[in-house]
Amino acid sequence: MTTQVDSTVSDARWVPPPGTLALVLELREGLRCAAVRYCHWKSNDMLARSASGDNDLDLLVHRSDYQRFSGVLARLGFRHAVAPGGREHPGVSHHYALDPGSGRLVHIHAHVMLVLGDDTTKNFRLPIEGPYLASVRTDEVLPVPSADFELAVFVVRMMLKHATWDAVAIGNGRLGTNERRELAWLLERCDPVMTRTIVVEHLGGIGVDLWQRCLESLTGDVGLPRRLQLGRSVIRALAPHARRPWPEDLALRVARKGMWGSRHYLLRWPVRKRLARAGATVAIVGGDGAGKSTAVEAVGDWLGSTFVVHRTHLGKPRPSLLTLAVKGPMYLARRAGRLPQTAVTVDSRVATGSDFPGTSWAVWHALTARDRVRAYRRARRVADKGGIVVSDRWPLPQLKLMDGSRVSWILDRMDDPPWLAARLARAERRLYAQIAPPDVLVVLRVDPEVAVSRRFDEDAAYVRARNTEVFELDWRDTNAVVVDAAQSPEAVLSAIRAAVWKRL
C-alpha cells in the first residue's frame, strides 16, 4: 500500500497547475511547515478547479493535528462560518478566506472524521481516517489519498447517497454527470487487487462481495429493485457507525428534503452561512460621486453569495408609517411653496439662532433620525446573529453635512428655542446617541473637483461641499479605512474587499 510522503520534504521541481490561487499555495506551504497530516480527500479529478477557487477544498485533517491546522488557517486570514440549522455535522467545519489577487473567497470544508451519507443527514462515519491519511501522496497541489483508497470510499458514499428509496423519489437515484466522470477517473487509476485489499482490511463490515456488487451497480445498468436492495445492505453493514437508527434517519431525511426543497425551489431561499465568531456592520461613506452605491452593491454581491448579508441605507432609511403619514403632507406643502425650508440642511458648526428654519423643519429631521435608528436596530440584530450588514452611509459625528444631527444645535445656539422644536432637538440627540460606530468603516475619499465632474447633473456647490468635508477630515483617530476613490473601479473594489475581510 502507498505510504505517506514525509510532509517536511518539499519537492523543488513541483510546478503548480495553471490558475492555482496564491492563497492555496500559501495554505499548502503553511500546512507543510506545520507538519499537519491532511489530504484533499474526495473529488480529486477536479482538484485543479478547487485550487483555482471554482470549488471548495474538501480537506481531511488528522484529529491530533487539528489545533495546528486551525493556527495555520488563522494566520492566513480564514474565518470560521456555520451553516443554517440542520446543515452542520459533527467533525465538519467551514472556513473562508480572501485571495487578494483574484478577489475570490476560498472555502475549506474541513473534516476530522470521514462523515458520509445523504446530504441532509450525513448519518455515517467510516472510522478509517488514520489509514486513509497514511496512503496519501504529495505530488499534487494538495496531498491526495491513493486512488485505490479513494475508490473504495467513493463506492460507499455513492450507495448511501443514491441507493435509497427517498433519493429515488426525488429523482436522485443515479450518479450525476460529475460523479460518473469521477468514477471513470478513479477506475483508470486503480489496481483492482489493491482496492480489494483495502476493502478487506478497512471496510470489513461491508466486505468484498457486497462492495463489488455495489461497484457493478454504479457502473452497469442494474434494475431499481436490485440497487435499492444493495443500498439497504450497505446501511445495515454500517449500522455500528451510524449516529441515528435507520428509521429515525429515514424520517429526518424525508422531512428535511421536503422542507429544504420547498425553501429552495418554491421560496427561492438561498442557503447562506453566518460567521461563527461574530457578524459585523460594514459602512461605506463618502461624498456624492465617490462611488458609494457602486461599492455597496459590489461588496453586497461578493459577500452575499456565501454569507447572510443585509443591505441597508442609513442615509436614506426606509420610512416608517408614522414618517409617511407626517412627511407626505409636508412634502406636498413644500412642493406647493407653503413649507419652503422643510428639507434644508443647516451646518451646525456655524449656525446661529437666526438660521433656525422653523418647527416643521425640526419635525422632518427628527423623523429622519427615528427612521435611521430603526434601520440601525434591524442591522445590529443581523450582525449580532452572525450576519454581515453592508450600509450605504452611516451617521458619524465627524460629518456635519451628511446623515448626522440636524436639529440639536438649537439647544446650544438659541437662547429661547420654540418649545416643540426644543423637544424635537432633544429627541433627535437621544436617537443619534443610540447609533454606535460601524464595526468596519470604509471612507471613499476623492478630490471634490473630481466628484463634481462625475456628478455633473447635480448642483456643483452641494456636491463640492459634501466631498470637501470628507476630503479634508483627518481620519487617523478613527477606525476608518480610507480608500482613494479616484482609482479605477477595480482597484477601489479590491482595496475595499481587502479592508473589509481583514476586519471581519
- Chunked mean pLDDT (size 10), the chain, 504 residues: 41 77 96 97 95 96 97 96 89 95 95 95 95 94 96 97 94 94 96 95 92 94 92 95 94 92 82 89 94 94 94 94 93 79 64 79 92 97 95 92 87 87 94 95 94 87 90 90 93 94 92
The last residue of a domain, from among 130, 145, 160: 145
10 Å CB burial of residue 367 (0-12, 13-18, 19+) is buried
Residues 315 and 389 reside in one and the same domain: yes
170, 118: one domain:
no
The confidence score (pLDDT) of residue 340 equals: 59
* The predicted structure's pLDDT at residue 348: 67
Residues 177 and 210 in one domain: yes
Nearest CA to 481 among 503, 499, 504? 499
Q: What is the pTM of this model?
A: 0.89
Q: Give the three-state DSSP class for 60.
A: strand
In a domain? residue 248: no
Do 218 and 322 lie in a common domain? no
Quote the pLDDT of residue 269.
80
User: What is the C-alpha separation between 203 and 164, in angstroms, rounded?
Assistant: 20
Look at residue 246 and tell me if it is in a domain.
Answer: no
Burial state string for 10-49 with b = 16 or more CB within 10 A and e = fewer than 16: eeeeeeeeeebbebbebbbebbbebebbbbbbbbbbebbe
In a domain, 205, yes or no: yes
| pLDDT score at 498 | 94
Q: Are residues 28 and 108 located together in one domain of the fold?
A: yes
Taking each helix axis from N to C terminus, what angle separates 224-237 and 147-162, rounded to the nearest 10 degrees?
110
What is the predicted pLDDT for the residue at 7?
A: 40
Task: Provide the β-strand partners of residue 40.
Answer: 59
Please give the tally of structural domains in the chain.
3
Residue 252 domain-assigned?
A: no
The pLDDT value recorded for residue 344 is 61
Q: Which domain holds residue 353?
A: 276-503
333 with 442, same domain: the answer is yes
Position 16 scores a pLDDT of: 86
Counts for the chain of helices (H) and strands (E), in that order: 19, 13
| 130 shares its domain with 152 | no
Place of cell 440627540: 429
Residue 114 falls inside a structural domain: yes
| Partners of residue 124 on adjacent β-strands | 116, 242
Q: What value, to the nearest 5°, has the Cα angle with vertex 235 and ends 233 and 237?
A: 70
Query: Domain containing 306 — which CATH number?
Result: 3.40.50.300
* Statement to judge: residues 298 and 417 lie in one domain: yes
Tell me, what's the pLDDT at 9? 41
Do 203 and 224 sit in the same domain of this protein?
yes
Residue 261 within a domain: no
Are 308 and 273 in contact, with CB atoms under 8 Å apart? yes
The burial of 328, by beta-carbon neighbours within 10 Å (0-12 exposed, 13-18 middle, 19 or more buried), is given as exposed
Q: Are residues 463 and 484 in the same domain?
A: yes
| Residue 60 sits in the same domain as residue 159 | no
CB-based burial label for 160 (10 Å; 0-12, 13-18, 19+):
buried
Query: What span, in angstroms and rounded, lies between the C-alpha atoms of 176 and 84?
Result: 25
Q: Is residue 50 part of a domain?
A: yes
Strand positions, DSSP E, 121-178: 124-126
Residue 265: inside a domain: no
Predicted local confidence at residue 200, as pLDDT:
95
82 shares a domain with 9: yes
CA distance 431 to 126: 57
